[in-house]
Amino acid sequence: MKNFKKYGLLLIIATLVAFAAACGNGSSTDENAGDDKKGSETSGSIVVSGSSAMQPLVAAAAEEFMAENPDADIQVNAGGSGTGLSQVSEGSVQIGNSDVFAEEKEGIPADELVDHKVAVVGMTAAVNPNVGIDDISKEDLKKVFTGEIKNWKELGGKDQKITLVNRPDSSGTRATFVKFGLDGETPAEGITEDSSNTVKKIINETDGAIGYLAFSYFTDDSVTPLAVDGVKATDENVQKGDFPIWAYEHSYTKGEPDGLAKTFLDYMMSEDVQTGLLKDQGYIPSTKMEVERDAEGKQTKK
């Protein structure tokens, strides 16, 4: 009986030791897993591509994010909204930026993508400062871009031939401008450039030139933004729904994001970026909009 009690006591002690060890190992494993998860969210590398209208914002946010997280590498490329949507759909980049809804681009499997509306961008026609006008009616804007009006003197400006500067078909900036600035009418042939920075440079250096740019590119007096029907191209007028040419800035992921891509998108939607960096870069927080639009372009009050 004594031996039975002795062995029973030893068995209980051994069981308790094994249980304690298991708990200790489980705790250690959980902590290590947490550390690994945390590391994967703020380290590694991702590639972002697409809308050149979004590039200044995303590049600035990436620079600040990487300064805070030195183990992260975020490469931001332009190339146009079509490129961003195609590449994120193919899985060759982790985030695809677009000025248009994925549903608006033919050949894009929108149902496989997740939309993150990072901001709103206003756009307007930009002219060489010497053309002599700073306001245009929407009807005249359409006539200029379809080639019906060929000289600025027809609109009260200087006697200068109008030179059109367009973006390629893949450009979300072009799609937005055509849809909401030209009511869907196709622009006439002109100079075509991939980059908004290059468009701005050409307009500045070419007498009589007109193109279109996001508000974020109007940082100096090298080009003149045009009011439309007397409504100035301002953030406030876009927010109220008075200025017609605007679009959401979308960051698409293939499925729900994880790891560094998710952490960076969360950072883009943070208060610091939305109320600070975003506005500094010339964008409009989507949370400040008094109107909203769907993929078909229908605008309604919030």
Q: Strands (DSSP E) along the chain, which ranges?
A: 44-50, 72-79, 95-98, 113-127, 135-136, 163-166, 191-192, 209-214, 224-225, 227-228, 246-254, 291-293, 299-301
Q: Write phi, then psi, for 200 (nearest 5 degrees).
A: -60, -45
- Per-residue pLDDT at 187: 96
- The C-alpha atoms of residue 201 and residue 273 are separated, in whole angstroms, by 28
pLDDT computed for residue 22 by the predictor:
42
Distances in Å between the Cα of 91 and the Cα atoms of 75, 298, 300 are: 15, 31, 34
Position 194 scores a pLDDT of 85
- Say which amino acid occupies 35: D
Residue 185 one-letter amino acid:
E
**Mean pLDDT per 10-residue segment, the chain (302 residues):** 44 42 38 39 95 88 97 94 95 94 93 95 96 98 98 98 93 89 96 93 98 92 98 96 95 97 95 88 86 91 89
- Residue 121's beta-bridge partner residues? 247
In this prediction, residue 30 carries a pLDDT of 36
Start-to-end CA span in the chain (Å): 82
Beta-ladder partners of 192: 166
Instruction: Kindly tell me the burial class for residue 265, based on how many C-beta atoms sit within 10 Å of its own C-beta (0-12, 13-18, 19 or more).
Output: buried
For residue 274, what are the contacts with CB-CB under 8 A and spacing of at least 6? 119, 285, 287
Structure token pair of residue 104: 């608006």
Residue 13: per-residue pLDDT: 42
